[in-house]
Amino acid sequence: MRSYSVFAAVLVAALASPLAAKAQGIPDGVAHGTYVGWGMAGPVGWVVGGAVGGVIGGVEGLFGFGPAYAAYWEGPRAYHHRRWARHSSS
């Protein structure tokens, strides 16, 4: 009977270890949520932002999503010059 319990515990630990490794997004989500929430709605936003940010960070960590960094082209800007039509009233 004890060998079944030990086997079940080892099996659960083996299946849960990848989920624990992926849960590292939770602290980052809480930190970002509290920061943004405080700036938007003060103390209430701080609490709600922390909770929502933790959930979103956990889901992102579970599915392997991370922060997306986009590279934008910062070349010379294209200026469009308007050509004003001069009308004479003569």
90 residues of the chain, pLDDT tens digit each: 577 777 787 777 767 666 555 556 788 888 888 988 888 888 898 999 999 988 888 888 777 776 666 677 676 666 666 666 666 666
DSSP for residue 65: -
31 sits in which H/E element: helix 25-63
Q: Which residues of 35-71 are buried (b: 16+ CB within 10 A; e: fewer)?
A: ebbbeeeeeebbeebbebbbebbbebbeeeeeeeeee
DSSP for residue 14: H
CA atoms within a 13 Å half-sphere pointing along the CA-CB vector of 68: 4
pLDDT of 56: 87
